[in-house]
Amino acid sequence: MDILYLPELGQFALILALVMACVQALLPLAGSMTRQPLWLAYAQPAAWAQFALLTVSLVFLGVSFLVDDFSVAYVANNSNSALPWFYKLSAVWGAHEGSLLLWLWILAGWTFAVSFSRGLPAEVLARVLAVLGFVSIGMLLFVILTSNPFDRYLPQIPSDGADLNPLLQDPGLIFHPPLLYMGYVGFAVTFAFALAALWSGKLDTAWARWSRPWTSVAWAFLTCGIALGSWWAYYELGWGGWWFWDPVENASLLPWLLGTALMHSLAVTEKRGLFKSWTVLLAIATFSTSLMGFFLVRSGVLNSVHAFANDPDRGLFLLLLLGVTIGVSLLVYALRVPTLKARASYSLISKDVFLLANNVILVVATLTVLLGTVYPLLMDALNQGKISVGPPYFNALFVPLMLLLGVFMGLGPVSDWKSMRLDKLRKKIWLSGAISLLLGFILLPWVYDGSWSIWVALGLTLFFWVVTTSLRDIWEASRGKKGWRGISRSRWGMFGGHVGAALIVLGVTMVANYGEERDVRMAIGEPVKVKDYEFTLTQLGEREGPNFSADTATIEMRDREGRLYKTLTPEKRNYHVRGMPMTQVSIDWGPLKDIYVAMGEPVAEDAYAMRIHYKPFVRWIWWGAFIAGLAAILAVTDRRYKVRVPE
């Protein structure tokens, strides 16, 4: 077999995958309508075949990159013979067409995993697979009709490629998109479970139990993906921020917020059989925002740092796909939901209501972020001028909402299901409240900085409040018969998730209030002072990399006593093929602070514009997110999800 035919074979595999997706979607649908159990059984092998075919397709695209087949347009536009092999591979998802293929492959992978879930009645499984099949059909059509990664440049084959965007030549790119997509697409599984349940009319606690692990895993991936993206932006863009309220970041935050709400409302539905229709609606909304994020990013309607030359024509197809998905699922919802009735009751002070508050706050937060993100589009469509919504809008609304959410984050774990006496709740939280107020609100802001500010005080109070209530909950759980070993993994998962969130709060509070960012002109030998440290540029030089040349700088950093603390070596690179400059920052990182130095531009023979940032506790934001993500995975390994559900 001549290796040059790989792209064609890859495309055939893609088309066959579409055929398999049709089988996977349509036969179970027809089978359940005409009551032919045999037809239902087609879903599983079709899902396996689809996964195998998409794997072939993705691998062949990868091989085309590795062998530098520049006759393939996508390879020619996003690779170069001088690119290191691992970036050639990660370039597979470095632009539009390939990232879509990755999206599809991950969807097929999730479907494959679902098809092995034990304890699921055959009919439910077939329905879930069918819904996933429909999602897959939509996306496969999109790829094959508008964004084929295997298109060729024939007969004039470029002699070399246009190179991968230098911003993407970074280890972060290898992991960020796959993790993020695992999260986005993972919510398709929850969505499929919800629709399958509506379809069958059996929306019971078993349904919630089946959905929970998938939701948690998807949420864990999305959390880690977003955190990794934030970290990547921090060191790669050279601006020193960790969140910009950029539309594309917001697009990933929307499903995250709704997914968080969904995890909590699924808990209520599973334990108490309440909020069923609300939970289903959340499941639909979560996946819809995943798709919408995809539309916003890929259609090019948004003005964003992620807007790498897009094609607006594709937007229409995606909008159509989004409309059909939301429309059909809401239709099914409207037809089926009135038959649902909850029998359980609950009182005002109960875990049920605190979790409801969590849901309301998260949904309101989602709506405010959504509004800020699409408002410019709306105004433009209505000819009200070109506007942009700045970070102050998001901060003004998001921060208070999260503070409010934090109050309930503390109340939730220590409260009882169904109902609780006020004095019992008071007994459980007074100590936490006292510690939080004393340490967080009054003492620590003074100790750390010698001054007091309301935002630091609120942030630290929240941090202590969430941590101490979580500790209280774990301590109480440990007083059971089996002691510490009797604590279930899902409880540890909740503990880790909440502590992770508290760490994020701590990091954000510290870096937002005590961080210092300075743009300075640095001449050789002239010291510059930033936050108790003295920075001196000692040397400017040049160096050649494999596919770039760079200006280099050596900066000595001294502490208050004048001792040499660290030597920092940032670079300004120029990538040859695209002629694109890139800032390579130098970071002295640590648990309590990051010192961040980036080169701007030369301003004189012996002087350079430099960006020097002091970022206290910034790493805790990402560590908190990773801890929360791992905790969600831990919760999934809980024994009760392994118990076979009677049919």
The residues that touch other proteins, with contacts defined as CB under 8 A, are 73, 151-153, 165, 167, 237-238, 303, 305, 307-309, 311, 345, 347-348, 353, 356, 360, 364, 367-368, 371-372, 375, 379, 385-390, 392-393, 396-397, 400-401, 519-521, 578-583, 598, 600-601, 603-604, 609-611
Smallest gap from residue 179 Cβ to other proteins (A):
21
DSSP 93: G
Smallest gap from residue 381 Cβ to other proteins (A):
13
Smallest gap from residue 39 Cβ to other proteins (A):
41
Structural tokens at position 350: 């109960």
Q: Return the number of the residue (140 or 164) whose C-beta is nearest other proteins.
A: 164
Contact predicate 199/246, CB 8 Å? no
DSSP 97-160: HHHHHHHHHHHHHHHHHHTT-TT--HHHHHHHHHHHHHHHHHHHHHHHHH--TT-B--SS--SS
Taking the C-alpha atoms of residue 591 and residue 598, their distance in angstroms, rounded to an integer, is 20
Q: CA separation (Å) from 510 to 304, 391, 399, 440, 531?
A: 27, 18, 14, 12, 14
Q: Return the number of the residue (121 or 600) whose C-beta is nearest other proteins.
A: 600
Smallest gap from residue 164 Cβ to other proteins (A):
12
Q: Return the number of the residue (321 or 370) whose C-beta is nearest other proteins.
A: 370
Smallest gap from residue 549 Cβ to other proteins (A):
15
Structural tokens at position 290: 């995943």
* Cα 421-423-425 angle, rounded to 5 deg: 75
Smallest gap from residue 219 Cβ to other proteins (A):
24
Q: CA separation (Å) from 333 to 215, 353, 510?
A: 19, 24, 44
Structural tokens at position 274: 């309440």
Smallest gap from residue 209 Cβ to other proteins (A):
26
3-state DSSP assignment of residue 80: coil
Smallest gap from residue 345 Cβ to other proteins (A):
7
Beta-bridged to residue 564, according to DSSP, are 558
Smallest gap from residue 104 Cβ to other proteins (A):
21
Q: Return the number of the residue (52 or 305) whose C-beta is nearest other proteins.
A: 305
Q: Return the number of the residue (303 or 453) whose C-beta is nearest other proteins.
A: 303
Smallest gap from residue 637 Cβ to other proteins (A):
35
DSSP 267-287: HHHHHH--SHHHHHHHHHHHH
Smallest gap from residue 233 Cβ to other proteins (A):
11
Smallest gap from residue 503 Cβ to other proteins (A):
27
Amino acid at 406: G
Q: Return the number of the residue (188 or 597) whose C-beta is nearest other proteins.
A: 597
CA 214 to chain centroid, in Å, comes to: 15
Structural tokens at position 265: 């409302």
Smallest gap from residue 216 Cβ to other proteins (A):
27
Q: Return the number of the residue (199 or 295) whose C-beta is nearest other proteins.
A: 295
Contact predicate 263/211, CB 8 Å? no
Q: Return the number of the residue (386 or 481) whose C-beta is nearest other proteins.
A: 386
Q: Return the number of the residue (375 or 514) whose C-beta is nearest other proteins.
A: 375
Beta-bridged to residue 583, according to DSSP, are 572
Q: CA separation (Å) from 503 to 317, 403, 511, 618, 623?
A: 41, 14, 12, 10, 8
Q: Return the number of the residue (221 or 231) whose C-beta is nearest other proteins.
A: 231
Taking the C-alpha atoms of residue 34 and residue 391, their distance in angstroms, rounded to an integer, is 54
Residues recorded for the chain: 647
Beta-bridged to residue 567, according to DSSP, are 556
SS3 readout for 497-526: HHHHHHHHHHHHHHHHHHCEEEEEEEECCC
Beta-bridged to residue 557, according to DSSP, are 535, 566
Whether the ω angle into residue 338 lies within 30 degrees of 0, i.e. cis, is: no
Q: Return the number of the residue (531 or 578) whose C-beta is nearest other proteins.
A: 578
Q: Return the number of the residue (386 or 479) whose C-beta is nearest other proteins.
A: 386
Amino acid at 492: W
Smallest gap from residue 126 Cβ to other proteins (A):
38
Answer positive or negative: Cα dihedral of 207, 210, 216, 217. Answer: negative
Taking the C-alpha atoms of residue 542 and residue 524, their distance in angstroms, rounded to an integer, is 15
Q: Return the number of the residue (296 or 610) whose C-beta is nearest other proteins.
A: 610
Structural tokens at position 35: 């009551």
Contact predicate 268/342, CB 8 Å? no
Q: Return the number of the residue (64 or 111) whose C-beta is nearest other proteins.
A: 64
Place of tokens 């301003």: 603
